[in-house]
Amino acid sequence: MRDRKSDTAHRRAAEAKLGRTLRPDEVVDHLNEDKADNTRINLDVKSRSVHSAGHNRTRGLSKLRASLRMIKERKRLY
């Protein structure tokens, strides 16, 4: 688990954006995937379940794209 002391800058910025404290079940996502960019426009607050579902969907699409690419190149799927 990550150290919360080093994880607070983006959480504080998101709280300032929302005007309230974050709930324990909320996570802050960096839209441009640059963890150092804590500008308000780059931060998105989501529930932990919605955040996880988005990552799972992205991983599933990546696997599908890889499989389709392998089929196109006529390589064996494993």
- How does residue 1 score in pLDDT terms, banded at 50, 70 and 90? very low
pLDDT digits (tens, 9 = 90+) for 5-15: 556 899 999 99
18 close to 28: Cβ distance less than 8 angstroms: no
Q: Is there a contact between 43 and 29 (Cβ–Cβ < 8 Å)?
A: yes
Decide: pTM greater than 0.75.
no
Q: What are phi and psi of 65, to 5 degrees?
A: -60, -40
Question: Tell me, what's the pLDDT at 17?
Answer: 92
In the chain, the DSSP E strands lie at 26-30, 43-47
Written in H, E and C, the secondary structure of 21-37 is CCCCCEEEEECCCCCCC
Say whether 66 sits in a helix, a strand or coil: helix
